[in-house]
Amino acid sequence: KQEVTQIPAALSVPEGENLVLNCSFTDSAIYNLQWFRQDPGKGLTSLLLIQSSQREQTSGRLNASLDKSSGRSTLYIAASQPGDSATYLCAVSDNTNAGKSTFGDGTTLTVKP
């Protein structure tokens, strides 16, 4: 059974700092990996999706990497801003059933002005 872990559970940084969020998964047979942002009491917003054949994806100040063989992904946020404060979740979809995703518990990021 796939298990997804995100460490740390919470992170606090000063504004302007570059930071890395981590996601690890136990079964490397994935279809893709997706990073999401969730604001308190809200739904999830997709940030980046990496197919299993890709190594990284970039969108603005965000860069996500995928190392399938080691079961790891990182989300790099450059020049953090207070508006980046949210919970970030990663999810992997199953290689044999792409409709089935397993989520991590998320990392709650606080960017202090």
Partner 1 sequence: DGGITQSPKYLFRKEGQNVTLSCEQNLNHDAMYWYRQDPGQGLRLIYYSQIVNDFQKGDIAEGYSVSREKKESFPLTVTSAQKNPTAFYLCASTLEAGGTQYFGPGTRLLVL
Binding site for partner 1 (CB under 8 A): 4, 31-32, 34, 36, 41-46, 49, 89, 91, 93, 97-106
Distance in angstroms (rounded) separating the CA atoms of residues 77 and 16: 10
Q: In 3-state terms, what secondary structure has residue 17? A: coil
CB of 74 to partner 1, least distance (A): 18
Comparing CB distances to partner 1, the nearer of 18 and 58 is 58
CB of 3 to partner 1, least distance (A): 11
CB of 94 to partner 1, least distance (A): 9
**Residue 22 Cα distances to 8, 33, 42, 97, 98, angstroms:** 8, 13, 22, 24, 22
